[in-house]
A and B are shown apart, each in its own frame.
Chain A
């Protein structure tokens, strides 16, 4: 009998956790999104007033969205810049210099060690 009761108890507690948990998750993320929608702009505005003084006129430079500037154009520009910066290996330096290679010393043809002269 006891396990039966225990199980029912567990399930009811489970449903309580289900409901409250979902509500809290939704609530907290909702709070976060509302704060970022309304709270943060206010904060930034207040910050501007504090740093620039009340008297100066505060004006945001409005970012005007260019309707014609699509993702494709951005991608094309980015590709062009990337190609320009990273694929330069085709234009190589045209000046050729011949470096003298260092060789290890070898006395095979040295004139000081002949058969005639003795050390």
Chain B
């Protein structure tokens, strides 16, 4: 062992010395006049060169290339990680994204295939799954394999709440148009209101990818990064955004409404649901096929009872792998020089408004539905807020909020129904926008 170490260290010494010797040799050839001069000069030149080398090395380090934008974004990445760890706001998303933001904002010299936007770099290959919309359908497969639609099957009218919350999507779309975004960009921004990260990435990768060319010859902006970050960060902030709106719009008596327990759903119905829903929804909105097809396929794997292995992989290993890749690359796509623009700020503003409108749409529509329902059939309007997807966070928020006004009112199962129908609704909305603008 010692011998190997000695040989290794001698070899490494030789390797380190060689460039110095070689450099000197080259110098002596080119500058033959200086060779006769004193030793002092050569040693001085050696030091000069060493300093020059260090200077050049310094030019390549992050310290030389850092701008205030980079530092700001790294700080944001740290904040994301802090929020994920300290407050437990969707840590499975915020920690990969936060780490990705740091990775993407380490300053570097362009041209060495380092950055996420340089073709040929490893990060660029991983980002490929985002740009081409590969990751979102795989995430939807996992979501399908872990979602239980039985509360929705038991009470189908709650599906309308999931549709009502999509008002947020279209309102944001119009808002983005007024702020001067063109149609495809506005469509991609609008889907933030769907509160569904994979859907937002899917749609923005199709509409606002920086590649498509509009009718008037201009190229659409690349908004995937800002849209994904806005969608995910507001999804993480659902526990902060929704409760004040609930208290504002729903009276105390309404918050106390108890809903009757959902009926038992047979296994046959559960098996029929993904097949029928797949056929119906994709016939209406074929552009949403990659998302809805995978969602219901995953659910069929779960409910068929024969493919438990596949369902298990889809809802654990597969979705974990894709979440890791998606989180890091989406985070890394926030490279400061591309991310810190006026557009990103506008998108963040619109995103906040869209969440507010979507929540209000759901709550008000639930109140509206209550006008037609009587007695036991009445629904607690709070569950309307779960119509924005953000599975399962918004359902949890509804549950917690209902417990505050009545400690024995358990709404979680009821809130899951509009919650999952919100996922279907936002995927349909994405499909519609795509078919209009794609």
Which A residues fall within an 8 A CB radius of B?
A: 6-7, 10-11, 13-15, 17-18, 20-22, 24-37, 39-40, 43-44, 47, 63, 65, 71-72
B183 with A32: CB separation less than 8 A: no
**14 more A-B contacts (CB under 8 A) besides A17-B187, A47-B268?**
A14-B173, A18-B171, A21-B169, A22-B166, A22-B170, A24-B285, A24-B432, A28-B284, A29-B163, A31-B280, A31-B284, A33-B160, A40-B153, A72-B408
Contact of A26 among B158, B163, B285, B408 (CB under 8 A): B163
Please encode chain B, from 239 to 273, with 1 for each CB lying within 8 Å of some chain A CB and 0 for all others.
Answer: 00000000000000000000001011010110011
Smallest beta-carbon distance B130→chain A, Å: 25
Binding-face segment, B25-33, B224-232, B319-327, B422-430: B422-430
Smallest beta-carbon distance A57→chain B, Å: 20
Known contacts A25-B429, A26-B160, A26-B163; is A17 also within 8 Å of B170 by CB? yes
Smallest beta-carbon distance A47→chain B, Å: 8
A33 with B432: CB separation less than 8 A: no
Nearest 4 interchain pairs by C-beta = A33-B156, A36-B156, A29-B163, A33-B159
Cβ-closest chain A residue relative to B161:
A29
- How far does the alpha carbon of A7 sit from the alpha carbon of B186 in the complex, in Å? 13
> With an 8 A cutoff between CB atoms, is B117 at the interface?
no
Is the contact region of chain A dominated by helix, strand, or loop, or is it mixed?
Answer: helix
Smallest beta-carbon distance B101→chain A, Å: 32
> With an 8 A cutoff between CB atoms, is B18 at the interface?
no
Which B residues fall within an 8 A CB radius of A?
A: 153, 156-160, 162-164, 166-167, 169-171, 173-174, 177-178, 180, 182-183, 186-187, 216, 261, 263-264, 266, 268-269, 272-273, 276-277, 280-281, 284-285, 408, 410, 421, 424-425, 428-429, 432-433, 436-437
- How far does the alpha carbon of A47 sit from the alpha carbon of B428 in the complex, in Å? 30
